[in-house]
Amino acid sequence: MTHVSFSPYERWSALPPDTGLYRRDTEKDACGVAMVATMRGHAGHDIVDHALLALTNLEHRGATGADPLVGDGAGILSQVPDRFFREVVDFTLPEAGHYAVGTAYVPTDAAEREAMTQRIEEIAKE
């Protein structure tokens, strides 16, 4: 039997010991995380409602800054509702699971906006 010696920090930590390329001192904590899931096998708007309620009830989401009334960009991550997008877009989508949807905040200056839009398209193609 091998004896493993722990420092007081390691004994009660949920982080694994440094191994290979992993270094616990580079670990970042995520404050204000809530997770909502279903095991029923199909999507439902009730899950979004639960996620929004969980988000609303998080007291601290990490990036509040000087003005606690200003949003920090926190949100929810969900699956892409393929059927919905097929009903509302005016172009042909690839098969489900082979495209992504996102939101980008672009500059108001036309030249800067065009440059950013082109870069976003390049990244999407990659």
| Confidence at 60, pLDDT banded by 50, 70, 90 | low
| Tens digits of residue pLDDT in 74-112 | 678 887 789 989 999 999 999 988 888 888 889 999 999
**What mean pLDDT comes out for the span 49-65?**
72
Residue extents of the structural domains in the chain: 23-68, 80-126
The answer to whether the beta carbons of residues 80 and 100 sit under 8 Å apart is yes
Q: Which residues are catalytic?
A: 31
Q: Which residue has the higher pLDDT, 6 or 43?
A: 43
pTM score, whole prediction = 0.46
The answer to whether the beta carbons of residues 74 and 58 sit under 8 Å apart is yes
